[in-house]
A and B are shown apart, each in its own frame.
Chain A
Amino acid sequence: SQKIEQNSEALNIQEGKTATLTCNYTNYSPAYLQWYRQDPGRGPVFLLLIRENEKEKRKERLKVTFDTTLKQSLFHITASQPADSATYLCALGRTGNQFYFGTGTSLTVIP
């Protein structure tokens, strides 16, 4: 079955720096990959989607890369702010809306 791994440790970075989160997968060939943000006690909030034929996607301070050869996606938050502190989830999909989620990476941005 598919396996999706995100940064195993929580990530702490200084405000203003770039946060980089990883999502690695095996036994799966996704057609697209999504990144979500989740705050404690809340549902995930969609951030970005990238398709298998796209290498990079940007939205404001966010950037996602997708390497289907390495089976890896990187998620970058530039000029990070304390308000960016949350858990970030990657989710892989192939058809319809069935997604396989990773376990998430907890990010803390220190003022």
Chain B
Amino acid sequence: DAGVTQSPTHLIKTRGQQVTLRCSPKSGHDTVSWYQQALGQGPQFIFQYYEEEERQRGNFPDRFSGHQFPNYSSELNVNALLLGDSALYLCASSVLGRERYNEQFFGPGTRLTVL
């Protein structure tokens, strides 16, 4: 089992550009959450996808959007990039519904740098 995988590992973009990050959940997991982690800070919840729909959303602007595919993999899209979007973007997968309190498995993250 490869666990949660994310691609790419690193990405450099310029202000105003758009970016797409990808995540494959752990085998058997049906829920994907995305987090943004700025340097020296804890992860901040962006949104969560289950059954191809956004279930919960944190305090992030509409420039941040996502998608979940039938195979449970997910994409995070960020439009009109700002310098402040530079961060480590983490994907976490879990199983929803089996129990209310579920362990999340995180991927290694994608380091996004906006110049």
Contacts and interface: CB of A to CB of B under 8 A. Distances in A.
A101 B44 contact: yes
A43 interface: yes
B84 interface: no
Interface stretch (A64-72, A76-84, A89-97): A89-97
B41 A103 contact: yes
Given A45-B106, A97-B31, A98-B33, A103 B42 contact: yes
Nearest to B108: A43
Interface in B15-56: 31, 33, 35, 40-45, 48, 55-56
Interface residues on B, range: 20 to 34
A101 B38 CA distance: 12
B14 interface: no
B90 A97 contact: no
Nearest to A47: B103
A64 to B, nearest CB: 14
Contacts, number: 68
Given A43-B4, A102-B42, A103-B41, A96 B96 contact: yes
Interface string A31-58: 1101010000111111001010000000
Most buried by A among B48, B90, B100, B111: B100
Contacts of A100: 45
B103 A46 contact: yes
Nearest to A43: B106
A57 to B, nearest CB: 12
A43 B4 CA distance: 10
Contacts of B102: 97
Nearest to B91: A43
Interface of A: 4, 31-32, 34, 36, 41-46, 49, 51, 89, 91, 93, 95-104
19 contacts: A31-B100, A31-B101, A34-B103, A41-B108, A41-B109, A43-B108, A44-B106, A46-B105, A96-B55, A97-B96, A98-B33, A99-B43, A99-B45, A100-B45, A101-B35, A101-B43, A101-B44, A102-B42, A104-B41
